Structures are given as C-alpha cells and as structure tokens.
Amino acid sequence: MYENINRIKDKDEKEEFGKILVDAINRKLKLGYSPFEVEYEDFQEPKTWTLGQGLNYFKQKLTERGLRKRSIQSYQSVLRMLNKNLATVLHKDISTINKTHIQAALSGNEWGNTTYNNNITFVKAIFNYLIDHEVLKENPAARIKPLPETITKHKYFDGPTWDRIKRTAPPDLLDFILFMYHTGTRPNEARQIKYEHIKGDQMLIPAVISKNRKDGHIPISKYIQDKYGKGKGFIFGTSVNYFNQKFQEVKKELKLDKDYTLYSIKATRAVHLAQDGASPYAIQQLFRHHSLDVTQRYLRGLGLTINREAVEKGIRF
C-alpha cells in the first residue's frame, strides 16, 4: 500500500505523507480491514451521518414502509419541527446529538401535554428507525419523560336532560340523534350513511366518510335494523350544518351550556354503556377506535370504567 508515495520527491514531505499513511492503515486494520481479503481501494470507512442527513433519510423511506396516510403526515410534521428547531445543529455528526438537543426542540412549541407526549413518541420512533438502519447507535430521545396529562371531561347529557332533548327535538333531528346514539357514529359520518350500508346486524362505514379513512363494520342494534334495514340512497343526506343548526335551536330552547354539541350524544351513549357494564373492547369496536388505549382515554375522560358487552345495552329511549 504505497498510495503513490514515490511520486513525492521532497524527502521531508514524503516522510510526513508516510506517517499519515501508516496511521490511516492502522485505523483501517482496527475497523476490520484485511489486506488479504479486499483491495485497499475498495475499503470504505462507515459513513459519518449528520443530523440533517439522518432526518432526510428517514423522510425518504417513509412512503416505502406501508404506513397509513395519517401516520405519514404526522411523521412529516414532526420532521419539519425537528429541522426547524434544530437548524443550528443539522450539520453536526448525528452521534453528537443528545437529550438536551431534543428536549430543547420539543420545548420550543406551544403544545398541550398530550400533543407534547404524542410528538415524543414520534421522535423516539424516528431515531429508533435510524438505529435499526445503523445510522446511529443510541437514541437521544430515549430518556425524555412524558408530561402528565390532564384528562379533559367530555360533555354528556344526564338523564333528565337526555329525556328533555328527545321530547323537544323535531322528528327528523330526533331520528338523526337516535341513529348516532345507537351506531356510535360522528355527525358527519351519520349524515352520509346509505341504506345499502346496512346488511343484517352489521353496518359498513366506508373509508371515504370515516374519520380514520378506513372501511369499518360495526354491529348494530335491532332498533337500527328494523328502522333502516330497507331502502335506497342516503338515510339522511343533508348538508353539513343542517342538523347542527337544528340542534342549536333545541339547545337555546332548553338553555343548555354552549359546550354541549352533537358529539355529546356519543359521550352519552358511552355513559349508558358504562352503567350497563359493557367492556372496553366492545366500546372500541362500536366507536371504531384504533386501539384499546384510545378507548380507555376516552372513557377516563368521562370518568368511566366499563366491563361487559355493548351492542344491545346502554340504550335509553
């Protein structure tokens, strides 16, 4: 291994180059290089990644991993945040990035504790991916602890208020309310359901109208089967604000708090299910939460613990 050293004519310069060459060869040997197995020209030291290169590598691989569109968007949002808040160290060796850097990047945002904790999860996942692909060895976010989350109470209707709403609501609004109540659908989903989506004791909620953008089948009560089991086209088929405006009139008449919304119907069903002992898993299936953890957080927001089956239970009408 001469590296063209004989082209150097000056003795001192040649000697200096020789020292550098010896040092380089020794470093190669320590990294596993063997002159008997590979040509020197073919050997490359492991690449030193900058933080910016690592984040960009993760971004390039996002669409190849079969993630949901929503997950990809969340990762892209977190990547933008990291690139912005860590702009001064993007050029640095990624292995020099530590907990302090990540903590500062996360703290530079006006987030609530829940959003903060969600973004910690994404940041940790990004660096874990880079570890798996040998871009770095340690996760700089690994020891960052989540912040305590304050449970936000969902508004639901107590018994007397629920009865007053059913007595006061005009017929078309009452039908809409009871449909949401029985099916656990959101207002924008319920108004786009068609008769054709109801098959026996199941109802399809198509991806195009579902909040999670996935087709979902839910069990339905006998009330829904009997009332909507036959027909064609949209069951309700109204504009976005039609039932909301009608509900506002009922709220005004009953002098209800402004925090009550059509979404309170779903929360009310959850309370009734809890009172009748439905299980969290049954609630997850009915409300189409993507995990039991989401369902548990939702129930804790109502101050509830649930433990039995759900479809025909918890119905008040």
Residues, the chain, total? 317
Task: Taking residues 122-126, report their average pLDDT.
Answer: 95
What's the confidence (pLDDT) of residue 308? 47
166 and 267, same structural domain? yes
In this structure, the answer to whether residues 22 and 70 fall within a common structural domain is no
Are 204 and 244 within one domain? yes
User: Does 231 share its domain with 282?
Assistant: yes
Chain segment 282-299, per-residue pLDDT in tens: 888 888 877 777 777 777
As a whole number, the mean pLDDT across the chain is 84
Q: What is the 3-state secondary structure (H, E, C) of 262-296?
A: CCHHHHHHHHHHHHCCCCHHHHHHHHCCCCHHHHH
Residue 150 within a domain: no
**DSSP single-letter state for residue 151:** P
Domain count, the chain: 3
pLDDT at 183: 92
Task: Map tokens 């409300």 to a residue.
Answer: 287
Q: How much is the average pLDDT of 273-283?
A: 81
How many angstroms separate the CA atoms of 4 and 131, rounded? 38
User: What is the pLDDT at residue 16?
Assistant: 76
Whether 124 and 246 share a structural domain: no
Inside any domain, residue 100: yes
Say whether pLDDT at 176 is over 90: yes
pLDDT of residue 304: 66
| 308 found inside a domain | no
19: how many CB neighbours lie within 10 A of its CB? 9
Handedness of CA 215, 221, 224, 229 (dihedral sign): positive
Model confidence over 182-228: pLDDT tens digits? Answer: 998 888 889 999 999 999 999 999 888 887 677 888 889 999 999 99
Query: Residue 45 has what pLDDT?
Result: 47
Where is pLDDT greater, at 137 or 277?
A: 137
Same domain, 218 and 292: yes
- The parent domain of residue 32 ranges over 5-42
Chain segment 5-19, per-residue pLDDT in tens: 776 777 877 787 788
Same-domain pairing of 235 and 290? yes
Whether residues 217 and 102 fall in one domain: no
Q: Is residue 152 part of a domain?
A: no
Q: pLDDT band at residue 2, thresholds of 50, 70 and 90?
A: low
Q: Domain for residue 316, yes or no?
A: no
Instruction: Indicate if 111 and 81 belong to the same structural domain.
Output: yes
Strands 216-219 and 202-205: antiparallel
